[in-house]
Amino acid sequence: MQPMIAHPAEALAGIVKVPGDKSISHRALLLAASAIGETPIHGLLESEDVLATAAALRALGVEIVRDDDGWRVSGRGVGGLSEADRVLDLGNSGTGVRLLMGLVASQPILTLFCGDASLSRRPMMRVIEPLGRMGAQVWARGGGRLPLCVRGSTEPLPIDYELPVASAQVKSAILLAGLCAPGWTTVTEPLPTRDHSERLLRHFGATVHAEPLPGGGRRITLEGQPELAASPVLVPGDISSAAFPMTAALLVPGSNVILSNVGMNPHRVGLLQTLQEMGARITAIGSREEGGEPVCDLGIEAGPLRGVDVPESRVPSMIDEFPILAVAAACASGTTTMRGLKELRVKESDRLAAIVEGLEACGISVRAGEDWLEIDGAGGPPPGGGVVRTCFDHRIAMSFLILGLAARQPVRIDDGAAIATSFPSFPIVMTELGAKIHGSNELSGD
């Protein structure tokens, strides 16, 4: 356990270099491993989750080297993985395990997966079912949970699969499995999700088509058995990580912060859109494209926020940002309503329950149902002063530390250890901006 405390802050100021995008980092490693030749990767997020994916790929026979210039991956080509001689431990990484399941599902090897207690509670059936249709055999613990074993197919089949729930991880797992299948593999999603996999597949030479559908869905089609070629990857800053210093700068009076090199993938900007509807002063600076992804710097200036209704159609584009949006809503004027949040029940924790519990501990009025949340904002600094149970969820931990900067009384969290899974430099980054976030010897005091 690593208890931490955040004290009410004075104006924050400075330039933040946001760590590399976690979603892109996982996918860059997996596709570089499936290409022919050596792929240099710059800006890779060196968090516990991403390092677990790199370690798993090494166990599957991929040479991955870290040096002064960044990372280098010597690819083995599509279908070229070797059978690992040990269980692949993905720690807390849902993205890592689901995407790796897809990659090995269409290769004739046996692969065993495990994870930490949090990951072992997360549902994998949503990935197991389509991979089974493609010919893989999967044995899992009750409820389709880790630990599990995947026997890849010797003759993988392309499928046309309609996602019951919009999920970039499930979509990506199917597309990765489709690399070894002849013909065309198609995934239809009810709402558009982040398209990093499609962009990187094209970057490495695969043929991928995406077409919008009536009603807002999207159909993605991949031509199987391509010859992927090594190609340099520059990983942009993670907008999900940028969300924490961004929200802090919006909420702490007098703050003025610049976030550099932030990825602006159109399927990831739901939080930005919502904050701007709340009145946030956010300015895009120097919009450009790097490594196939749109990027810009963001100028953030503190100011009052107002409550809004978040449309359910926006949920896939900000699924990871609802904890920090809840913090912004707690400081806004009026009520903020969020619907379509059922997916939050099966993240690293039951995030919806964790948000409610944390807000109540800090004196904030909140109401929730199975898939909705209503927060009555304080119209300024909320009371704070609570101790928040993080449930080993990195986004819950960081969100409530940000609340402590904007509240009237310090906010403590019971455990900040999970922060290392996605944003290891978070305490340093926030301290450099002027925040007071540090370890706490006791939950009842400093």
Catalytic residues: 320
How far is Cα 132 from Cα 138, in angstroms, rounded to an integer? 7
Handedness of CA 196, 199, 201, 203 (dihedral sign): negative
How far is Cα 80 from Cα 61, in angstroms, rounded to an integer? 9
How far is Cα 183 from Cα 207, in angstroms, rounded to an integer? 11
- 3-state DSSP assignment of residue 108: coil
**DSSP symbol at 379:** S
How far is Cα 359 from Cα 383, in angstroms, rounded to an integer? 10
How would you classify the pairing of strands 4-7 and 411-413? antiparallel
For 34, residues 6+ apart whose C-beta sits below 8 A from its C-beta are 75, 76, 77, 78, 80, 103, 176, 179, 204, 228
Beta bridge partners of 438: 5
Handedness of CA 112, 116, 119, 121 (dihedral sign): positive
Tell me the residue length of the chain. Answer: 446
DSSP 61-83: T-EEEEETTEEEEEEE-TT-PPP
- Residue 392 CA from chain centroid, whole number: 15
Handedness of CA 402, 408, 409, 414 (dihedral sign): negative
Nearest to 265 by CA among 296, 234, 221, 299: 296
DSSP 285-322: EEEEEETTEEEEEEEEE----B--EEPGGGGGGGTT-H
25 membership: H or E segment, kind and range: helix 22-33
